[in-house]
Structure 1
Amino acid sequence: MTRKINLPPKKERHLLFGSVEPGEKLKPTEKDQMPDLQNSKKDFLFTIDSVGISNVKHPIIIESDLNPTQQTTIATFKMTSKISHDSKGTNMSRFTEQLEQYRQNGGFVLSIKNLYDFTKELAERLKQKDASIEVTFPWFYERKGPSSGLVGLNHAEATIAVTYDEAVGYTTTASLTCAVTTLCPCSKEISEYSAHNQRGYITMDVEFTEDYHEELDWKAALLEAAETNASAMIHPVLKRPDEKMVTETAYENPRFVEDMVRLVAADLYELSFIQAFTVHCRNEESIHLHDAIASLSYRK
C-alpha cells in the first residue's frame, strides 16, 4: 500500500532540505559601485596567451556551394584574447554579449568576412589588441546514389578559426573531417577473390592565404579532395544497383592510408588559396582490432 504523504508548504520543504533565510545585504547592488577585480591593474607577473570561453553552443547560418545552399545548424564556439601582465583578467560577459549582438542582427551568418568583423569588434570590446574565434559545426550536403539518383544528406565536421591581431592583421585556418570508404590493396593482391574494406576518416587542417575571401567554398573544395581520392564515397541512400556500383568502384581503386594522405595532399597542393596543410587518415580496420593511421604536413 502506498504511504500517504502530508506535504508541507514549498517554503518549509526548502528549509527542510537545507535552505536558509536570506541574510542582511551590505554590499552595493549598482554596477558602478561594485569593485571590478578583473580590471585591476598591477604587475601580475605573466602575459596570458589565451583566455576566454569555450564550448558555447549557438545557432549559425551556413552558406554552401552544395545543396542545401543555406542551412541552419548548431555550432560550438571558442572565443579568446591575450591579456598583458599588468591586467588581472578578461571580461567574460563581453564574449557572449558580442555573440548575442550578432544573433539579434539577423542571425550569425558564418562567413570569413563576418568572422573578420567579429574578431576585430571583439578586440575593441575587450579593449585588447587581439581576439580569436573558433567555430565547429556539422555541415550537411546532398549525395545522390550513383545509379538510382536517390538523394540523402551526408555530413562532415567543419571548423573555421580566425585570429585578429592589430599589428599583423588576420590569420585564417580551417579543418574538415569526412568519412570515406577505403579498400585494402594488400588484401586484394593476395586473395583469390574479394578484399576487405573499411570506413576511413580524412581530416584536413589548412591555413588560408591572406587574399582568400571565399571566392570558392572551402568546405566543398576540401570535401572533394578527400572523396575523389578514396576507394569510394559514403552514401546515405543506396539501392541494389547503387551498391553494385559503389563496391565495384572501391575494388577498382584500392587505397592504403599512406596512399590517401598523399593523394589528398596533392589536391590541396593545387588549391591556390591554401598555403599550408596537414592531412590525416584513420581507417577503422574491418579485420583488425586496431585502426590504421597516417598523416603528413606541408607548407608551400
Structure 2
Amino acid sequence: MQQFNTIPLKKLPSKEERHKLFGSVPPGEKKKPTEKNKMADLQNVKRDFLFDLDAVGVSNVKYPVRVLSGQAPLEQTTIGTFSFSSSIPANSKGTNMSRFMELLEQYHQNGFNVSVGALKQFTKDLATKLEQTDATISVSFPWFYERKAPYSSAAGLNHAEASVSVCYSANKGYQINVSLNVQITTLCPCSKEISEYSAHNQRGNVTVEAELDPDFSNEDEDWKVLLLEAAESNASARLHPVLKRPDEKMVTESAYENPRFVEDIVRLIAADLYELPAVMKFYVACRNEESIHMHDAIASVTYDKRNGQG
C-alpha cells in the first residue's frame, strides 16, 4: 500500500471552547413566562395606530404544489412562490404571521393544487383564520406542457411562467388575476417584403395578464391553456422541444407564411382575449429579441371589456 506523508493534526479546543472563542456566552437567567397564555401579545394590542394598512403578510414563500392542467401532462408537481396578505384596521397593531404558514402547511398536507377554485377557498379560510374581512394569495410557478412536432409528432415538454392572484373580500367577493409568459417565433413582415429571398426572424416573449370573471372555475376550462393558445396561435410559429428535419421544414415555412410585427402580435392576441367570456380585462405585451439589431422591439395593449377602455 502506498504511504503518504501527512502533517501532524493540530489539536483543536473542544467545540464548547470554540464557541466561546467566537462569542458565545452562557444562557442568562430566564424570568419571562414560557406558557403562551402568559406571554405578551404585542400584535394584538388595540389602540389608535394612525392608519389602516392595505396589506400585511408574508412573501417569497416557496412550497411544493400540484398543478392540474387541461393539456398533457394533466398533473405535475412543482415549486410555487407565494405571497399572502390581508388588510388591518388602524386600531390593530399587527397580524399573526404564523397563521399564514400554518394554513399553507394544512393545505399542503391535503395535496395543495393551485387551481383557481382551491385558491378562492384558501383566501376565504385565511380571512377567517386571521379574523379579518379580506385576504389575498398570489403564487407563481413554472408550468410544463407537452408539445408535439408538426410532422413526426416527436414529443417533448415546453414551459411557461404562470402566476395567479386571488383576492377575497367579505363585502366585494373575489377578484381573480392570472398571467402567463410565453415564448414564440416571429418573422419580420418588412424583411420578407423587401428581400429577394428569406426574412429575418427572432424569438418573441409574450406576457398575457387577465382579470377573470369572479365566478370563474377551473372545472370547465384551464386558464393556462386559454392564455397559451391565445399567444401561440397568433405567432409566426410555435416553439418545439424536438424537431426532425421534416418538422423543421414545416415550422420554417409556417413562420414565412405568417409574418408578424410586435404590433400585430399584441393586437391579434387581444382579439382572442376579447372573445373569451371569462376574461374581463387584459394586458398583452410582446418583446422581440431582434436578430439583426442589438435592441429589442416592444408593443403592448390594455383593454377593459367592462367599459371599453384601455
* Same fold per superposition (TM over 0.5): yes
The code of the aligned residue for 2:237 comes to: A
Q: Separation in 2 of the partners of 1:286 and 1:15?
A: 61
Q: Separation in 1 of the partners of 2:264 and 2:199?
A: 17
The code of the aligned residue for 2:222 comes to: D
Q: Separation in 1 of the partners of 2:55 and 2:189?
A: 45
Q: Separation in 2 of the partners of 1:12 and 1:288?
A: 63
Residues 188, 200 of structure 2: 8 Å contact kept: yes
The one of 285, 288, 295 equivalent to 1:283 is 288
Q: Does 1:180 find its partner at 2:175?
A: no
> In structure 2, what is the equivalent of residue 98 of structure 1?
103
Q: Separation in 2 of the partners of 1:284 and 1:28?
A: 61
Show CA shifts across 1:148-173 (max 9, x none): 11100001111111111010111111
Instruction: Quote how far apart the aligned CAs of 1:3 are.
Output: 6.4
The one of 273, 276, 286 equivalent to 1:271 is 276
Q: Separation in 2 of the partners of 1:6 and 1:287?
A: 65
Instruction: Quote how far apart the aligned CAs of 1:124 are.
Output: 0.8
Q: Separation in 2 of the partners of 1:3 and 1:289?
A: 59
Instruction: Quote how far apart the aligned CAs of 1:116 are.
Output: 1.4
Partner SS state of residue 233, structure 1 = coil
The one of 205, 224, 227 equivalent to 2:229 is 224
> In structure 1, what is the equivalent of residue 308 of structure 2?
none
Q: Which region of structure 1 is more displaced relative to structure 2, 108-117 or 48-57? A: 108-117
> In structure 1, what is the equivalent of residue 198 of structure 2?
194
Show CA shifts across 1:177-202 (max 9, x none): 11000111111112222211111111
Partner SS state of residue 232, structure 1 = coil
Partner SS state of residue 23, structure 2 = coil
Q: Separation in 2 of the partners of 1:289 and 1:233?
A: 23
- Aligned residues, how many? 299
What root-mean-square deviation, in Å, do the aligned CA atoms of Structure 1 and Structure 2 show? 1.1
Q: Separation in 2 of the partners of 1:102 and 1:180?
A: 35
> In structure 1, what is the equivalent of residue 245 of structure 2?
240
The code of the aligned residue for 2:126 comes to: L
Percent of counterpart pairs with the same letter? 64
Instruction: Quote how far apart the aligned CAs of 1:2 are.
Output: 4.5
Instruction: Quote how far apart the aligned CAs of 1:247 are.
Output: 1.1
Instruction: Quote how far apart the aligned CAs of 1:210 are.
Output: 2.6
Q: Separation in 1 of the partners of 2:183 and 2:169?
A: 35
Q: Separation in 1 of the partners of 2:8 and 2:91?
A: 64
The one of 66, 78, 91 equivalent to 1:86 is 91
Q: Which region of structure 1 is more displaced relative to structure 2, 203-212 or 270-279? A: 203-212
Where in structure 1 do 4 or more consecutive aligned residues deviate above 3 Å? 1-4
Residues 146, 157 of structure 2: 8 Å contact kept: yes
Unaligned runs of 5+ in 2: 1-5, 306-310
Alignment of 1:154-169 (within 5 A): 154-169=158-173
Q: Separation in 1 of the partners of 2:194 and 2:30?
A: 80
Show CA shifts across 1:79-130 (max 9, x none): 000011111111111000000011112x102222211111011001111110
Q: Separation in 1 of the partners of 2:7 and 2:50?
A: 64
> In structure 2, what is the equivalent of residue 15 of structure 1?
20
Q: Separation in 2 of the partners of 1:2 and 1:259?
A: 72
> In structure 2, what is the equivalent of residue 292 of structure 1?
297
> In structure 1, what is the equivalent of residue 3 of structure 2?
none
Instruction: Quote how far apart the aligned CAs of 1:264 are.
Output: 0.2
